[in-house]
Amino acid sequence: MNDFNIPESLLDENLPYSIQRMSLEEKGRLARDIRKTIIQVVAKNGGHLAPSLGVVELTLALLSVFNPSRDHIIWDVGHQCYAWKLLTKRAKDFKTLRQMNGLAGFPKISESPEFDHFGVGHASTSISAALGMAMARDLNGTSEDVVAVIGDGALTGGMAYEALNQAGGLKKRMIVILNDNEMSISKNVGALSQFLSRNLAHKGFLNFKEATGQFLKRIPKIGDALYDIADRGEKSFKTFFTPGMIFEGLGFNYIGPIEGHNLEVLIRHLQIAKAAEKPILLHIRTIKGLGYPPAENNPSRFHRVPGFEPETGLVPSPKINAEQGPGFTKIFGASLCRLAGEDKKIVAICAAMPDGAGLGEFRSRFPDRFIDAGICEEHAVTFAGGMATRGFKPVVAIYSTFLQRAYDQLIHDICLQKLPVVFCLDRAGIVGEDGPSHHGAFDLTYLRSIPNMHVMAPRDEEDLPNCLYTALQMNAPVAIRYPAMPTHAKIAPQEDFRLLEVGRGEMLISAPQKDVCVIAAGHRVHPCKDAISVLRQENISLFDARWVSPVPKEQLKELAQTYKGLIFVEENCRAGGFSSACLEFLSDEDLLAKVKILRIGLPEAKFVEHGPAEDLRKAAGLDWESLAKRFAEFTEAITA
């Protein structure tokens, strides 16, 4: 045993290959050990608990039927992969899950090239990737199986249907497993459906159906007509008794729904699917959070959790210092509700994360003006554009990393037409343990280059309401980016909203001696302020730009002409970000010749990995201590 009490059964060096030789009883005991370990580690490290608990039997069944190093198993979204990691030679390191330099919280090729065949983190990608692998297999003349596991709302994404449509058309041998945990597909229609769908998709029946079809077609004069009648009859029969007709219509042979926690049933149906020479969709029903009552009773709450008490399921309240702000997400939601109470044209739109995006109260108070588009970011953006053309004021609240998926819609459907849609980008910058697929590291880069798009980065929770109010008064596309974290700044109660001047920032510290000015954007303003305060120097000023597009042009010109050195600070990729925008402007104005420049931001040559957010900021030189050191060194160099 180790200090996390990982059972010896999971440390067996013969895993995962020994699973095929185990009895059902042995696999059942292994399932219990897996659940115990996942609960134990996630309670300590945080993570996606309920999704992974719901697929323990499915994972064991997959490893009972397929060769995990030869066959390709692709997990959509990837937040249900913990059992997979435990069983594919990573159990001894599982205690490092989501920790810096430890195991990632999602499948990752570089972490396990043998078993993680495709890296994920965003939804609805598995079927496309699986089809690509199946196509490559056939071109290479090999025979491995390809399986995509999708569910937990990922089937609402349009990309999944695009892939299903092509896969059915190409008739490539592949398996799609729909893990239905009541997050997307309708409920099980009963034992009769299971019986009919299972037998209608059995290899023997499929062969019989094909042979019968060929026979009917050979009957002179009436063969084609008889075949059409028989084909329509079978489809009508299956449509009446099963929910799978949509998949049959897309060219898949549908099996299901079946019990997703019955190992014997799962294994039998996976063997049927494996033997088929056609695209198969296996629909299984699972319980999200199974095996841990708090997660079963509240799967949404335990979808992704910080550390918690495993005995009770209680999540300790965060220890908030009196000087901390309440967090951007909370203030955004409260501010939007206040504004919507006064303006009936304001509507709120999100993509499957109303609570995470701060829209829980809005949904309760204004249900007719709240739209959850599901995991369909592209649709959500264009939908908002449609509402904007009819005089409404759409506010689209989406995490920074997920808005990337709708880049074409931002350009073509919103900015090209100058439609007044407000985008509120939560989780901007470093997000921590979810890692590179979730960091909001690129929004300033991909937004500020689009014509007609205005971009704001409020410094704290006091600044955010005014940014939101200003954005709603502008007849133009506007994006506001902010983190979920508090700013550690004491925020005064605000009675009224203040209209901000477009493209104008604010001097927060004006030093008597004009040597260096720190120009910061967004929530890094306060760490910069802390760093300058600690240095106690009289020659470092601090300017909050607030606007990234357009940058504060007249003020930047004055700063470049007044100070010996300028330090730009942002929590965004430096390539094409805030500092790039400022330097482009200063270069065009021929103002860079006499002023020294230091740019501090996220590295442009690599992705930021996973780990505690503050540890990652420290590694990137964005915490106040690192900033203080860089400020002091830069100031000393230009004043020497």
Give yes or no for a contact between 321 and 312, defined as CB atoms under 8 angstroms apart.
no
SS3 199: helix
**Residue numbers annotated as active site:** 288, 377, 405
Contact 256, 273 (CB under 8 A): no
* CB-CB contact of 133 with 72 (8 Å): yes
* End-to-end Cα, the chain, rounded Å: 59
Instruction: Tell me how many degrees the CA angle 165-168-173 measures, rounded to the nearest 5.
Output: 140
Beta-sheet pairing, 253-259 with 547-549: unpaired
Q: How many helices (H) and strands (E) does the chain have?
A: 24, 17
- Rounded Cα distance between 138 and 174, Å, is 11
Q: Return all residues near 167 (Cβ < 8 A) that are at least 6 apart.
A: 127, 130, 131, 134, 174, 176, 250, 251, 252, 279
Q: Give the tokens for residue 514.
A: 């004009």
User: For the chain, what is the largest distance between any 2 Cα atoms, rounded to a whole number of angstroms?
Assistant: 100
Taking the CA of residue 480 as centre, how many other CA atoms within 13 Å lie in the half-sphere pointing to its CB? Answer: 29
Query: Taking a C-beta distance cutoff of 8 angstroms, is the pair 35, 292 a contact?
Result: yes
Residue 503 carries which side chain, given as an amino acid letter?
G
Contacts for 163 with CB less than 8 Å, ≥ 6 apart: 127, 128, 130, 131
Neighbours of 478 (CB within 10 A): 26
Q: H-helix or E-strand containing 553?
A: helix 553-562
